[in-house]
């Protein structure tokens, strides 16, 4: 009798978890636009590195362009971004007050024209999962800027064994603001966290996108508006034309499931730019992964793949890269060492175990270099394929190539750009990559064998974290 009761309870628990697990994302997630021609396709980057004399150097190009686009916009600005905060442990170091600077840019724009619409969609990480009433957002709202926390808890569950239980028993209890007792790991200047704040964060859901849309331009980038991320190396891609309406449409869908009406309609009229050499799609979440799968699998001997990446661990992408290298595709990658994360040592995971796997299974056919970071991150996120026939495919934006980000669990967005080998964007990206690869005017990269790799313990830890998905990758 006891055994039968135990079986019944187990079955009921499994049934509860199955029925309560979110398996279908809301509209606006796993989005793929139509393909359009764009008049432009521009590549920008930020770089931190050492000069040949060993001095620290930092180049900023991405937000210079974002600022220019804000200045030129006449009707609206929609920002969908992961980090928008000044939060970091001051014991770790001192950074430029970039968040304050950017916020003032928005406020000044609004003061110039009260009818100009500014919408900020962002992640509740910026409020430390409810424990911190961030004054940055108060200031924006007081100046007429619309701030919305994206309802990330409507995304698919990464942990079906946890999230349904949290939604049923913990979420209804509320989420205390600045009423905690657990010391904040960002330092004493931030409020203590309640256990319910931490249990909320354990769901590991996020809006990791980085999109800037005006009626004249669309930029997708890997760069955050975050003081402690100021010195990270990043990349961005800018396009225009009818793809802007698709970005508006997607933002409105995200607004809808986050209980916000974005009062901008996707009905702007643009030229078709049929003679342009650039074709572009906006792809998000699962659609990023599907595009990567198709494009890598379609490569043949003589084609070239170029990757700059912060996190690489998605099993399908890794398998396709290994297969491509073994059939004669030339693959070169610059990867972050996964050494630094705002003062914390990240143990070389996931990139070092993944790089070892790729080198082993291709017999060193893939060429890998490590970006020589010094406290910051090589936060770049893109792949470029150059085919023998001259076709170039670029897939870049905010997406790390990890399962959470490109298989539909965490919100991310990329542009997929098709062009030709002689297009300015391809030549600029090649110049950028060769500069880093060859350390042309600075110390950018280390040879694969010159960087210490991970041992058995960390490799085992990586496989456990990837299998259980408890890691950040």
pLDDT digits (tens, 9 = 90+) for 177-217: 888 999 998 888 899 999 999 999 999 999 999 999 999 99
- Per-residue pLDDT, 466: 87
C-alpha to C-alpha distance for 149 and 124, rounded to whole angstroms = 6
Phi, psi of 448 (to 5 degrees): -55, -45
> pLDDT at residue 418 above 70?
yes
Do 232 and 289 fall into the same domain?
A: no
> pLDDT at residue 130 above 80?
yes
Stretch 341-353: mean pLDDT: 82
C-alpha to C-alpha distance for 227 and 220, rounded to whole angstroms = 19
Nearest to 377 by CA among 208, 226, 237, 238: 226
Give Rg (Cα) of the chain: 22
- Per-residue pLDDT, 8: 53
Which secondary structure element, helix H or strand E, spans residue 438, and what is its range? none
- Per-residue pLDDT, 16: 52
Beta strands in 313-430 (DSSP E): 330-336, 340-341, 344-345, 367-371, 381-386, 391-397, 413-420
Distances (CA, A) of 224 to 59, 209, 221, 408, 413: 16, 9, 8, 21, 13
Stretch 436-465: mean pLDDT: 94
Do 293 and 215 fall into the same domain?
A: no
Do 212 and 124 fall into the same domain?
A: yes
Stretch 405-421: mean pLDDT: 98
- Per-residue pLDDT, 3: 61
Which secondary structure element, helix H or strand E, spans residue 87, and what is its range? none
- Per-residue pLDDT, 112: 97
The residue range of the domain holding 433 is 279-468
**246 three-state secondary structure:** helix
Do 58 and 174 fall into the same domain?
A: yes
Handedness of CA 74, 136, 171, 464 (dihedral sign): positive
Banded pLDDT at 91 (limits 50, 70, 90): confident
Q: Is residue 81 included in any domain, yes or no?
A: yes
- Per-residue pLDDT, 473: 84
Domain boundary among 189, 212, 239: 239
Q: Is residue 249 included in any domain, yes or no?
A: no
Do 69 and 131 fall into the same domain?
A: yes
- Per-residue pLDDT, 472: 77
C-alpha to C-alpha distance for 310 and 223, rounded to whole angstroms = 12
Query: Is beta strand 56-59 parallel, antiparallel or unpaired with respect to 41-50?
Result: antiparallel
Q: Is residue 316 included in any domain, yes or no?
A: yes
Higher-confidence position of 1 and 274: 274
Domain boundary among 239, 254, 289: 239
- Per-residue pLDDT, 234: 98
- Per-residue pLDDT, 327: 98
pLDDT by residue (tens digit) across 132-170?
Answer: 999 999 999 999 999 999 999 999 999 988 999 999 999
- Per-residue pLDDT, 190: 93
C-alpha to C-alpha distance for 290 and 387, rounded to whole angstroms = 19
CATH code of the domain in which 359 resides: 3.30.870.10
- Cβ atoms 11, 4 nearer than 8 A: no
Do 37 and 95 fall into the same domain?
A: yes
- Per-residue pLDDT, 187: 85
pLDDT by residue (tens digit) across 60-84?
Answer: 999 999 999 999 999 999 999 999 9
| Domains held by the chain: number | 2
Do 227 and 169 fall into the same domain?
A: yes
pLDDT by residue (tens digit) across 386-409?
Answer: 999 999 999 999 999 999 999 999
Q: Is residue 91 included in any domain, yes or no?
A: yes
Dihedral, 259, 205, 223, 246 alpha carbons, nearest 10:
-50
Do 229 and 114 fall into the same domain?
A: yes
Q: What percent of the chain has pLDDT over 90?
A: 87
Largest CA distance in the chain: 78
pLDDT by residue (tens digit) across 254-263?
Answer: 999 999 999 9
- Per-residue pLDDT, 344: 65
Q: Is residue 392 included in any domain, yes or no?
A: yes
C-alpha to C-alpha distance for 14 and 9, rounded to whole angstroms = 9
Q: Is residue 256 included in any domain, yes or no?
A: no
Stretch 437-465: mean pLDDT: 94
Q: Is residue 234 included in any domain, yes or no?
A: yes
> pLDDT at residue 35 above 90?
yes
Mean pLDDT value across the chain:
94
Nearest to 78 by CA among 318, 261, 292: 261
Buried b (16+ CB within 10 A) or exposed e, 111-150: eeeeebbbbbbbbbbbbbbbbbebebbebbeebebbbbbb
Do 443 and 370 fall into the same domain?
A: yes
Do 167 and 75 fall into the same domain?
A: yes
Nearest to 201 by CA among 158, 234, 263: 158
Any idea what DSSP says for residue 233? B
Stretch 319-345: mean pLDDT: 91
Do 87 and 182 fall into the same domain?
A: yes
- Cβ atoms 39, 218 nearer than 8 A: no
Do 80 and 171 fall into the same domain?
A: yes
- Per-residue pLDDT, 121: 98
Stretch 234-251: mean pLDDT: 98
Q: Is residue 15 included in any domain, yes or no?
A: no
């Amino acid at each position: 009798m006891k055994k039968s009761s135990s079986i019944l309870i187990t079955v009921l628990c499994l049934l509860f978890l199955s029925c309560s697990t979110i398996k279908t994302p809301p509209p606006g997630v796993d989005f793929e636009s139509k393909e359009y021609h764009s008049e432009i396709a521009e590549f920008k980057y930020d770089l931190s590195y050492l000069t040949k004399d060993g001095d620290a150097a930092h180049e900023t190009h991405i937000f210079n362009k974002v600022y220019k686009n804000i200045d030129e916009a006449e009707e609206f600005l929609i920002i969908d971004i992961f980090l928008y905060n000044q939060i970091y442990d001051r014991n770790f170091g001192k950074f430029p007050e970039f968040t304050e600077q950017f916020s003032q840019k928005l406020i000044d724009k609004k003061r110039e024209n009260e009818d100009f619409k500014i919408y900020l969609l962002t992640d509740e990480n910026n409020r430390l999962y409810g424990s911190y009433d961030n004054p940055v957002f108060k200031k924006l709202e007081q100046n007429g800027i619309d701030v919305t926390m994206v309802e990330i808890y409507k995304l698919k569950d990464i942990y079906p064994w946890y999230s349904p239980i949290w939604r049923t028993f913990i979420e209804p209890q509320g989420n205390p603001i600045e009423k905690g007792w657990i010391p904040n790991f960002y330092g004493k200047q931030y409020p203590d966290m309640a256990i319910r704040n931490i249990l909320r964060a354990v769901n590991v859901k996020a809006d990791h996108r980085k999109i800037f849309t005006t009626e004249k331009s669309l930029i997708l980038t890997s760069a955050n508006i975050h003081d402690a991320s100021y010195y990270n190396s990043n990349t961005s891609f800018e396009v225009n034309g009818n793809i802007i309406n698709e970005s508006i449409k997607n933002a409105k869908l995200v607004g809808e499931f986050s209980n916000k009406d974005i009062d901008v309609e996707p009905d702007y009229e643009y030229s078709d730019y049929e003679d342009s050499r650039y074709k572009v799609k906006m792809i998000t979440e699962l659609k990023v992964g599907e595009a990567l799968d198709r494009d890598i699998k379609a490569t043949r001997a003589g084609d070239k793949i170029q990757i700059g990446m912060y996190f690489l661990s998605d099993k399908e992408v890794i398998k396709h890269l290994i297969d491509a290298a073994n059939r004669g595709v030339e693959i070169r990658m610059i990867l972050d060492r996964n050494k630094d994360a705002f003062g914390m040592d990240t143990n070389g995971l996931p990139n070092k175990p993944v790089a070892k796997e790729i080198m082993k299974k291709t017999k060193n056919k893939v060429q890998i270099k490590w970006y020589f970071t010094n406290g910051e991150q090589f936060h770049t996120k893109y792949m470029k394929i150059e085919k023998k026939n001259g076709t170039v495919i670029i897939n870049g934006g905010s997406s790390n190539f990890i399962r959470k980000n490109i298989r539909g669990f965490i919100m991310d967005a990329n542009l997929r750009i098709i062009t030709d080998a002689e297009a300015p964007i391809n030549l600029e990206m090649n110049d950028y990559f060769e500069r880093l690869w060859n350390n042309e005017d600075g110390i950018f990269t280390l040879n694969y064998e010159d960087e210490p790799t991970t041992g058995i313990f960390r490799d085992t830890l990586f496989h456990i974290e990837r299998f259980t998905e408890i890691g950040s990758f």
